[in-house]
Chain A
């Protein structure tokens, strides 16, 4: 016969079984207490009534302690010393009447040790406890004229039967539960595998579609280096977004909208726009204004500066949001430039000022241009 060892403490089934065993113990204690009370009031009373009282009190305290530990699923309950102690106490309840000089008042308490043995150690525990109790019962026959062989043989049979029944029942319950848990784990694993596979397939499709498309376009437009560079740049950005991005639905904060705007201009102009951001802001009308103004500044740089690269730096420090747009291009004289109809610079300034911020344009012919925008992003 295959022995099913008790499972790890803390599992649902073990907690339930522990409660059942402790429940029987409480019942056994009540049984013992009732018989003890009857023994005390019956006439003729015991020779030493205090033994009966002490025994009942000791068993009650022990049972209380076991119930307390059982509620906490204590490892102590599964230890060999505990089973030994429990069995010794059960044996003492059987022997106490001899000391007290009374009739037996142990009732069914002793079986609690058998059940506990089955619970904590399976067959070996149940059989050990039952053997100890049986030996006690048989020994009493030889030592004590109060007990006859018939009653003691009956007790031995009861201990043996209860040990086998308890050990076998627990074994079956535990085995079934292990099967169930195994099946559940397998199912959960299969579901997780499936979800992972689906996610991977989705990601692969998303990446491959875009990349294949871009590669096809690059082959078609191979003679147009600017177009090839722009295609590669866009694909790079998309891949980055897939790999490290916040993903769709992550909100339209400052960082995200700034990156999106620059990506847009990059696509339209074919000029590389390097974006660096520090911090983030959840978004407000002022932040929308600074992002819109940034777009104009970047478009402006892409159109007029005559460079391959425009650098954009966005910084959100609490509510203070700032953007720098810089190119190393042609530059212009800001004063004459505005007067000469450079309306874009003017419209950037107007847009930011109406949002309560400030815009500073630093440029000189041949020196490149830097547009510095700041707003207070608080609502």
Chain B
């Protein structure tokens, strides 16, 4: 993916209760991304983010005292314009989907390499959604769990194209590769992913919450 030379560095705020992780992110991010602040607990994080107004907040899904979900909800009450990218070492599906539903623009795992994290941050900063293969799998699973009867087609169903795009992401393809495979532009792929994100956040279905629980019982 070619990126235009970014004159203004992207300001990132890191919320994670693991000091080592924050230190690692700070030292490894590319030059065009600057860490403007960090917090290890939910309450101070909310306060500092509202005060410093970073472009992007990198937020850990699992944290004592409410987790990333609470940070997103609280910050969006006062500053709805701040963009969140969720990150976590564990991928309990219910937590990840709940964090996305709270308003995160994407989810990546901590196993991600520094350059990949950099490009994920640039993508969410550019207004796109970032779906890791893992998240694409969770989302496909979640939507498949909504009972076929009385679905709201606008919100509860993925279009065949959206499913196809998610499946390709889950299979490990990049947006550009997916565009090539499906004969559409990478921008259109982005568009589909954003649409899925919107559906995921708007649908009221309690099944999306219930799904993760049921899934463990299979």
Contacts and interface: CB of A to CB of B under 8 A. Distances in A.
B172 A274 contact: yes
B90 A276 contact: no
A278 B137 contact: yes
A240 B137 contact: no
Contacts of B216: 244, 246
Contacts of A255: 218
B171 A253 contact: no
Contact of A244 (B90, B111, B136, B171): B90
Given A240-B90, A243-B92, A244-B90, A279 B141 contact: yes
B167 interface: yes
B172 A313 contact: yes
A246 B217 CA distance: 7
Contact of B144 (A274, A278, A313, A324): A278
Interface in A277-310: 277-280, 309
Interface string A313-334: 1010100000010100000000
A208 B91 CA distance: 20
A273 to B, nearest CB: 11
A309 B170 CA distance: 14
A326 B141 contact: no
A313 B171 contact: yes
A370 interface: yes
Contacts of B141: 278-279
A124 B170 CA distance: 73
22 contacts: A236-B111, A240-B90, A240-B91, A243-B90, A244-B90, A244-B92, A244-B216, A255-B218, A274-B172, A276-B133, A276-B137, A276-B170, A278-B144, A278-B170, A279-B141, A279-B144, A311-B171, A313-B167, A313-B171, A313-B172, A315-B167, A326-B171
A165 B90 CA distance: 66
A278 B173 CA distance: 16
Interface of B: 90-92, 111, 133-134, 136-137, 140-141, 144, 167, 170-173, 216, 218
B218 A253 contact: yes
B171 A324 contact: yes
A274 B172 CA distance: 9
Contacts of B91: 240, 244
Contacts of A317: 144
A311 B132 CA distance: 12
Interface in A214-273: 236, 240, 243-244, 246, 253, 255
Given A276-B136, A277-B137, A370 B144 contact: no
B42 to A, nearest CB: 21
B218 A280 contact: yes
B167 A311 contact: no
A279 B137 CA distance: 9
Contacts of B170: 276, 278, 313
A279 B172 CA distance: 18
B200 to A, nearest CB: 15
Given A278-B141, A313-B133, A313-B137, A326 B218 contact: no
Given A243-B90, A313-B171, A274 B218 contact: no
Contacts of A277: 137
Which 6 pairs, one residue from A and one from B, show the smallest C-beta to C-beta distance?
A311-B172, A276-B137, A313-B171, A276-B170, A278-B140, A324-B171
B134 A276 contact: yes
A280 B140 CA distance: 12
A317 B143 CA distance: 12
A370 B172 CA distance: 10
A283 B90 CA distance: 27
Contacts of B172: 274, 309, 311, 313, 326
Nearest to B141: A278
Interface in A194-209: none
Contacts of B133: 274, 276, 311, 313
Contacts of A326: 171-173
A195 B56 CA distance: 45
Interface in A169-222: none
A326 to B, nearest CB: 5
Contacts of B134: 274, 276
Contact of A370 (B92, B136, B140, B171): B171
Contacts of A246: 216, 218
Nearest to B174: A328
A55 B5 CA distance: 102
Contacts of B136: 276
A246 B215 CA distance: 9
Nearest to A232: B111
Nearest to B173: A326
B178 to A, nearest CB: 12
Contacts of B218: 246, 253, 255, 280
Contacts of B173: 326
